[in-house]
Structure 1
Amino acid sequence: MNQPLRVALKLDLRWPLKRHAHIFAGTQRYADEHGWESIIDEYADEHLSDASVKSPPFDGVIARVNAKLANGCRRLALPLVNVWFNSPAKDDFPGVFPDMTAVGRLRAEHLLSRGLRRFAVLTSEDDAEKVAAESFRTTIAAVDGKCLREKIPLDPSRTFAAWQRTEQRIEAWMERWQLPIGVSIASEEVGRMVIQICRHRGWRVPGDVAIIAGTNEDVLCDHPRPSLTSVEIGYERIGYQAARLLDEQMRSPNKRRGARNQPPRHMLVPPHGLIVRESTDFYAVDDEVVTQALRFIAANSHRHINVDDVARAAGLHPRTLQRRIRQVVDWPIADEIRRVRIERAKRELAESKRSMAEIARDVGFGDRKRMYDVFRREVGITPAAYRKQRRLESPF
């Protein structure tokens, strides 16, 4: 009977972040499917760099690769796959990473779709976020949009003094904003700081400032209000693909040549999608009456509202309001009500395990069949298919 392949995992699992825990989950899905023996070894770099170790104790390693681990795997000609975008050995080993160019483009396209034409991007010294920020700016520049960029330290909260300096830099950056504005922010933590500063200035989120932040760390995105729109990277897929890539190396007859003699293969995994929440749930227009009508729809779409209700809230005759809204956003009031309900249904389907009937009622469709018919016509798939597509545990 063949012995199972033994794979070491060095993924900094002490950090409860998706880019650590969910990558691990993806490796374990592959390990279960292929009968691997997984060994969590957060000190694999120390173990493999020990000169007394003459032969590999594992068949392969998946890791956030530091310099010491890289040297140890080279010395032992041990198959290794890197999943750390900022790794000092990134160019030397095969790796699987999120496609941060696609992440930046997705953020920009979403804010552009909200009718915004002024933008700002806040990034850190993190290499991955630098790529996303540049892609964001390039996408905005392609449509002649204006974008203000600012950088903050990689770990802005490492000390109270660092946090204060970061806050001061952000406030100075915000002094240059012209509202309304769409903002891309590297992390949820800093996104929450920006929302608080907006609140102190009397700026509405999303009415004056629409914010996309981070990579969908759910707890920080969902609370407190307003909830934060974010990009779901799909780190489980990165872990799964890293395991698949390592499997190819371990089973290759040339695996003992050593990583130094093999050109590294890098895979970029596109983001799972955008999770739209309250921080971007609006449409930017210059007409104050139309803005008032759109805000009423956003706040009340879960209720049984119609054109007359919206016109009454805006203080205009329904036909007059219909004409002004068509001039500004090029679609009728009923379409906007339906659009907002669909966006909220998408959010519920992607993030919750609530029943279809509950979601249909609470987002304003009334019953499950009505949501099914509208969703399938407008989105092109059924609500159940959308939920399956968006869930992280869907097949890779």
Structure 2
Amino acid sequence: MKTVPPIHRIALLFNGNKIYDRGIISGIGNYLSSTRASWDLFLEENFLCRLKGIEDWQGDGIIADFDDPAIGKALAGTKLPVVAVGGSYEDERAYPRHIPYVATDNFALIKLAYEHLIEAGLSRFACFSLPVAETNRWAQQREKAFRRLLQRDGLPVEIYRGLETSAPLWDTAVEQQIAWLHSLPKPIGIIAVNDARARQLLQACLTAGIAVPEQVALIGIDNDPLTRSLTRVPLSSVIQGTESMGRTAARLLHQMLHGMPSAGTQILVPPEAINVQTSSLHQPLGDAYVMQALHFIRQYACQGIKTEQVANYVGVSRSSLESHFRRELGRTVHDEILRFKLTAAAAGLENSRAGIAEIAQDCGFKSAQYLHTVFKREFGCTPREYQHGHGAG
């Protein structure tokens, strides 16, 4: 006779609005679906408002985001098995005592971004962080990692925290970011401590007319699809190992529920990879006209711009701009516009379930048939074949 595994009531204390937390929750779900663990999950979006009394919750175990100190304090008195998830720390004393802890490797995140920018041919670097706060300890750890790496390599350390993100401070924050960007040597690679900060800085670059990635190559952390959809220049980002963190945390709690000791266990989870997009694909260019033109094209190619509009933006004649492009890049302005639109279409086909006609329209092609023709010529396959080959659609 088969034994039925016991059903355990488990609380997940995470913020479902954050891509980081959602990745961990997804990893927990993947663990449950691949094992005989049977959990009844308690997940509340606004759990921070209901932390009072959580230590008396009548369940069997808790997995919680310990990046917010309030959570650690609220759970200090609980008798239930708890697995903590959060950022890694240089100082061992920063970890909760007697609780297993699954951490994203902050040093490895920054190192991967830094090495990517080095491979792009850059030799000057900066970090865009957040104001110091108890809830931003992970950002301060990423600052420390950045500082360690640059000091190791004998390079100047440039860290800018700026203002917190809020509507009343937004205009002032952007003005200060632009001033900071103007003060930096160019070209430069900038690592933002998360995608939200990267998006803000990318917007400041576009507002100030600073070419991305020729003058500023930018990379974030989180690989947040929402952030990517809000930027005119596609944003490169480090993909955290959040699903692996979630699976590891669930495995630890599963073991604890069955009497296996895990107190004090610390597991560092490295990043998965980098989603390389336009914002960090630095190309050393000596021609200021071409740099300005590329800055304009990357923002507006998918809106159906023509060569004449690019030339007007740069302030030279069409024939003169074409001459600069052929000399610097070996291709025409039209070729560059089409190249960017095709890259955007390919990304849409890979990452979206939208129809071919919708993707064609979003990427500035006059019809799905025209996209089909150009795609077949440049990639050797149809958009539909490409979409199926990359798992979308």
Alignment partner of 2:139 out of 129, 135, 139: 129
Shift of the alpha carbon at 1:243? 0.7
Shift of the alpha carbon at 1:177? 0.8
2:123/2:188 contact within 8 Å kept:
yes
Match for residue 267 of structure 1?
268
The structure-2 alpha-carbon separation of the partners of 1:234 and 1:345, relative to structure 1 and needing over 3 Å to count, comes to farther
CA shift digits 1:253-294 (9 cap, x unpaired) = 354xxx7xx3333232423432424x2244124466996999
CA shift digits 1:15-69 (9 cap, x unpaired) = 511122232222122223333222225378544434xx7xxx3332111242334
2:128/2:197 contact within 8 Å kept:
no
Q: Quick one: distance in 2 between partners of 1:26 and 1:369?
A: 38
Match for residue 352 of structure 1?
352
CA shift digits 1:149-186 (9 cap, x unpaired) = 11245xx124624x456445434432421222222222
Shift of the alpha carbon at 1:202? 2.6
Q: Quick one: distance in 2 between partners of 1:127 and 1:28?
A: 27
Match for residue 157 of structure 1?
165
1:102/1:271 contact within 8 Å kept:
no
Match for residue 315 of structure 2?
none
Q: Quick one: distance in 1 between partners of 2:186 and 2:348?
A: 30
**Count of aligned residue pairs for this structure pair:** 357
CA shift digits 1:100-137 (9 cap, x unpaired) = 22211222222222222222211123232333334344
Q: Quick one: distance in 2 between partners of 1:368 and 1:164?
A: 41
Q: Quick one: distance in 2 between partners of 1:114 and 1:36?
A: 46
TM-score (norm 2): 0.67
The structure-2 alpha-carbon separation of the partners of 1:208 and 1:72, relative to structure 1 and needing over 3 Å to count, comes to same
Alignment partner of 1:11 out of 13, 23, 29: 13
Q: Quick one: distance in 2 between partners of 1:170 and 1:150?
A: 9
Counterpart AA for 2:86: W
Q: Which runs of 5+ in 2 are unaligned?
A: 302-317, 331-335, 366-370
Q: Quick one: distance in 1 between partners of 2:228 and 2:113?
A: 15
Alignment partner of 1:100 out of 96, 106, 111: 106
Q: Quick one: distance in 1 between partners of 2:377 and 2:96?
A: 50
Q: Which runs of 5+ in 1 are unaligned?
A: 301-312, 327-335, 375-381, 389-396
CA shift digits 1:65-90 (9 cap, x unpaired) = 423343233xx2x2211113289754
Match for residue 240 of structure 1?
247
The structure-2 alpha-carbon separation of the partners of 1:272 and 1:90, relative to structure 1 and needing over 3 Å to count, comes to farther
Shift of the alpha carbon at 1:370? 8.9
Q: Quick one: distance in 1 between partners of 2:188 and 2:139?
A: 20
Shift of the alpha carbon at 1:95? 1.9
**Secondary structure of the residue that 2:76 maps to in structure 1?**
helix
Q: Quick one: distance in 1 between partners of 2:64 and 2:213?
A: 39
Q: Quick one: distance in 1 between partners of 2:341 and 2:175?
A: 38
The structure-2 alpha-carbon separation of the partners of 1:254 and 1:86, relative to structure 1 and needing over 3 Å to count, comes to closer
CA shift digits 1:331-352 (9 cap, x unpaired) = xxxxx9xx99998798457533
Counterpart AA for 1:195: L
Shift of the alpha carbon at 1:365? 11
Alignment partner of 1:230 out of 201, 214, 237: 237
Q: Quick one: distance in 1 between partners of 2:40 and 2:64?
A: 16
Match for residue 85 of structure 2?
83
**Secondary structure of the residue that 2:183 maps to in structure 1?**
coil
Counterpart AA for 2:40: E
Query: Does 2:43 align with 1:40?
Result: yes
**Secondary structure of the residue that 1:205 maps to in structure 2?**
coil
CA shift digits 1:302-338 (9 cap, x unpaired) = xxxxxxxxxxx9989x9xx999889xxxxxxxxx9xx
Q: Quick one: distance in 1 between partners of 2:148 and 2:387?
A: 34
**Secondary structure of the residue that 1:82 maps to in structure 2?**
strand
Q: Quick one: distance in 2 between partners of 1:290 and 1:201?
A: 17
2:212/2:295 contact within 8 Å kept:
no
Q: Identity of aligned pairs, percent?
A: 24
CA shift digits 1:203-224 (9 cap, x unpaired) = 2223322222342221222224
Match for residue 117 of structure 1?
123
TM-score (norm 1): 0.66
